Amino acid sequence: MADDHSADAGTEFLESWTSATTGSLYGTTGSYFLLCSSPILIITFLAIASLMVDGKKELQLKTTSRYPRIRLRTFPILVGGPFGVVSAAEFIGICLFAVFTIWALYAYTMQNLNVLSELSLSSEGKWILMLILTGLRFGSIGLYCLAFLFLPISRGSVLLSIIDVPFEQATRYHIWLGHLTMSLFTLHGLCFVVAWAMEGQLLDEILQWADEGIAVLPGVISLLAGLLMWVTTLPLVRKKNFELFYYTHQLYAVFVIFLALHVGDFIFSIAAGGIFLYVIDRFLRFCQSRRTVDVISATCLPGGSVELVFSKPANLRYTALSFIFLQIRELSWLQWHPFSVSSSPLAGSKHISVLIKVLGEWTSNLKGKVLHMSGTEGEYGLRSQSRSKITASVEGPYGHEIPYHLTYENLILVAGGSGISPFLAVLSDILHLTNQGKPCLPKNVLLIWAIRKSNELRLLSTLNMESICPNFSDKLDLEVRVYVTRESHPPLEEGNIGEDISTSVSPLLRGSGMSVLVGTGNRIWSGAHVISSAVGFAVLMALLDIFYINPLNIATWWYKGLLLVGCMIGSAIIFGGPVIYLWHRWEKRAVVAEEADDREKDDGSQQSEHFKTMQEGVVPKDRPVARTTHYGARPNFEEIFTSVSERWGKVDIGVIVCGPATLQSSVAKQCRSQNLRRGALHPVFHYNSHSFDL
């Protein structure tokens, strides 16, 4: 059969490739690495070269096309299934992986049946051999999937940058691949367990740790670590006990190391490329997160939200839809939490802010810390100057390098609860560009915000639109629709939006600034770090073979697998470390030069409107925008989108959603429905999700 012949051809090619390269410096391990892992590294090097040549990505604004078209990346084709909202481009990727897995299983099964047909065994013997061969095939396919598993969670990866896929979106791919990989590895282990049980040698086989060939016990340990991680990723466990999910996921180190011990160096090298890139990225993030960043402003806002403002160097770039990972040392030395940025990069080059909704224990403790700093006993109070500080460590910022919200002339922003945070930054971005007379494509913006109680309405007033862009309503058609779902009538004090704010402001406008080592930092330095680590890996492996493995005739599989992992980690530290040190020194000199320039300027003129507002201790009252508030109702997206379709006509409309999964599904379903039944004079709705769900 064709599939059987293709499998045989693949086996013959692998054998001929291995025999042709066995006599090389790196031996069989190098052969497998060159064949399976080097393509990922080569693509990474090409991506680095492309980013270095192109330099900083600039936004190219184009007028609205006369002929709006559906795009694969923004057209939701699956909604509400096990994968959530899936775009057409993502669906193609899922299908490719599904086809590969099914084809591999079928081809391997045919190959196994051919092997069994050539042997004279009892019925039980054939079943045992079939289980063992099938288990081997499941393990092989799982290794191929593992080669891609770590790529989406390399937060600062140039591979994600080159295709403009932000980390929060790539995390979904890691989840999908994780389910597939662990399913294959679980079936791999289950087949062997059943076969050994049928032979009556289950315990002896499980405890076996051979020097040559596969070491079983390390594989059992690796699989158990993987199963613990897998179980805690289930939504019921993750959402109810995030800390359990977070801490058990640190077992990835156990999973990877014992997998290398289980299969040995040359088999592990099949998946080593993607894991190596993750090791490089993880060490870089470790170096960035060691720096402590003083919170220069902390504000308790109505509705159970906390705003934190951090100092950052002017050369650290981010967009209004970026996010950061945050650790507060006074609360926990281990927990990191992702938050969307709530400030526009145009609002001030020396600070970045996040808006945090109080939902769990960590965020409740953070709010209590801020209230304690401001000397407030109750839920809210008046501001007081305090020398006490909150010490934070920050990773990022991450996200799209190009602000894609500025590529649409027409925008619909849909937020649920604290999902308003990134849209405050988006509106600030648009208003600053409009005020400065710079190119700004968005002209029609509809903000839809669903909240539970009306006290959250005051969050809108943290954005002083009129002070950013006077008379902005003459240049921007901005409409805000708020839906208060848990209240049927407006409270009597609805109009009072400028009080009940508790603020703690540091006397200094700049504390210890964020590091530029990760996120949207310098591509030359980050590229040099990856390349130097990769070269260092090749050098360490060569030195190990020349001076240790070959002279001593070391042939123990599990030990050579451990040495391979050690070379991966060592190269990132020994060869990548000096690059990070030089990068850090370069950053310090840039900051010193920046501070010298600032001293020549009037300090008062450098204060952003944000800090002036915070020091006044209240949120300013804006001139009202076109805002309607609906009590006891939820947004009817079919009615809203149909109305917008009639009003805005034949245009491209960018739809950005930030909120829970149910909200994303409702909006995506409506985008798909409108696009499928659109007429010649109706718009195309482009669905984009900004929701981060670990």
User: Percentage of the chain with pLDDT > 90?
Assistant: 40
Statement: residue 1 has pLDDT above 60: no
Please say whether the beta carbons of 182 and 119 come within 8 A: no
Residue with the larger pLDDT of the pair 247 and 624: 247
Distance (Å) of CA 2 to CA 35, 106, 141? 24, 11, 20
94, 88 contact by CB (below 8 A)? no
Residue 674 confidence (pLDDT): 93
Tokens for 175, please give them: 């989840």
Of the candidates 25, 271, 5, 15, the one whose C-alpha atom is nearest the C-alpha of residue 114 is 5
Confidence of residue 614 (pLDDT cuts 50, 70, 90): very low
**At residue 228, what is the residue type?**
L
According to the model, what pLDDT value does residue 242 have? 79
Q: Taking a C-beta distance cutoff of 8 angstroms, is the pair 400, 321 a contact? A: yes
Tens-place pLDDT, residues 156-205 = 888 888 888 888 888 999 999 999 999 999 999 999 999 999 999 999 99
Distances (CA, A) of 407 to 226, 439, 652: 41, 11, 10
Residue located via tokens 């040495």:
563
Residue 128 to residue 399: CA distance in whole angstroms: 50
Question: Which residue, among 509, 440, 510, 452, has the nearest Cα to 477 in the 3D structure?
Answer: 440
- What is the C-alpha separation between 318 and 520, in angstroms, rounded? 6
pLDDT band per the 50, 70, 90 thresholds, residue 691: confident
pLDDT tens per residue, range 39-62: 999 999 998 888 877 755 555 555
Q: Read out DSSP for 26-88?
A: THHHHHHIIIIIHHHHHHHHHHHHHHHHH-S------PPPSS----GGG-EEEEEETTEEEEH
Whole-angstrom distance, CA of residue 451 vs CA of residue 658: 12
Closest CA to 3 of 100, 72, 84: 100
Q: Distance (Å, rounded) from C-alpha 455 to C-alpha 461?
A: 12
Q: DSSP string spanning 360-377? A: SHHHHHHHHHHHHHTT--
User: Count of residues for the chain?
Assistant: 694
Tokens of 349: 């080059």
**Among candidate residues 335, 360, 343, the one with its CA nearest the CA of residue 397:** 343
Q: State the pLDDT at residue 509.
A: 38
Q: How confident is the model at residue 515 (pLDDT cuts 50, 70, 90)?
A: confident
Highest-scoring range by mean pLDDT, 93-102, 117-126, 430-439, 458-467: 93-102
440 or 693, greater pLDDT: 440
pTM beyond 0.85: yes
* DSSP conformation class of 399: S
Q: What is the DSSP letter of 393?
A: E
Predicted pLDDT at 156: 81
CB 657 within 8 A of CB 689: yes
Instruction: With residue 223 as reference, give the H or E element that holds it.
Output: helix 216-232
- Do residues 225 and 251 touch, judged by C-beta distance below 8 A? yes
With contact defined as beta carbons under 8 Å apart, do 217 and 209 qualify?
Answer: yes
The b/e string for 94-111 (b: 16+ C-beta within 10 A; e otherwise) is eeebeeebeebbebbbbb
Q: Which residue has the higher pLDDT, 380 or 259?
A: 259
Query: Considering only CA atoms, which of 414, 416, 385 is closest in space to residue 668?
Result: 414
Contact between 506 and 370 under an 8 Å Cβ cutoff? The reply is no
Q: What is the pLDDT of residue 195?
A: 95
Least confident window among 156-165, 409-418, 536-545, 619-628: 619-628
Mean pLDDT within 382-390 = 49
Query: Running DSSP on this structure, what letter comes out for residue 419?
Result: G
Confidence of residue 594 (pLDDT cuts 50, 70, 90): low
Q: How far is CA 96 from CA 23, 90, 92, 103, 273, in A?
A: 36, 10, 6, 10, 21
Phi, psi of 78 (to 5 degrees): -120, 135
Distance of alpha carbon 309 from alpha carbon 303, whole angstroms: 19
pLDDT, the chain, mean: 83
Q: Is 241 helix (H, G, I), strand (E, B) or coil?
A: coil
The whole-number average pLDDT for the span 673-682 is 88
Q: Which of 362, 312, 361, 301 is nearest to 341 (CA)?
A: 312
The stretches of 374-439 forming alpha helices (DSSP H) are 420-436
Identify the bridge partners of residue 341 per DSSP, sorted by sequence position.
Answer: 354
- The token duo for 585 is 């020194």
pLDDT over 70 (residue 608): no
pLDDT reported for residue 344: 86
According to the model, what pLDDT value does residue 503 have? 52
CA separation, residue 526 to residues 12, 292, 397, 523, 693 (Å): 40, 21, 14, 5, 27
DSSP string, 649-678: -SSEEEEEEES-HHHHHHHHHHHHHHHHT-
Q: Reply yes or no on whether the pLDDT at 404 is more than 80.
A: yes
Q: Please, are residues 199 and 128 in contact by the beta-carbon 8 Å criterion?
A: yes
Helix boundaries (H) for 448-511: 465-468
* pLDDT given at position 497: 44
Taking the C-alpha atoms of residue 463 and residue 424, their distance in angstroms, rounded to an integer, is 7
Of the candidates 171, 194, 174, which has an alpha carbon nearest to the alpha carbon of residue 182? 174
Mean pLDDT of 489-510: 51
Other residues' Cβ atoms within 10 Å of the Cβ of residue 397: 25
Q: Residue 288 belongs to what H/E stretch?
A: helix 272-289
How open is the CA angle 286-292-294, to the nearest 5 degrees? 150
Q: What tokens does 506 get?
A: 């540091």
User: Cα(289)–Cα(247) distance, rounded to whole angstroms?
Assistant: 18
CB of 452 closer than 8 Å to CB of 484: yes
Segment among 109-123, 188-202, 569-583 with least mean pLDDT: 109-123
Packing angle, helices 576-599 and 272-289, rounded to 10: 40
* Span 562-574, pLDDT tens digits: 999 999 999 999 9
Mean pLDDT to the nearest integer, 254-273 = 94
Which pair of tokens denotes residue 494?
A: 């609805």
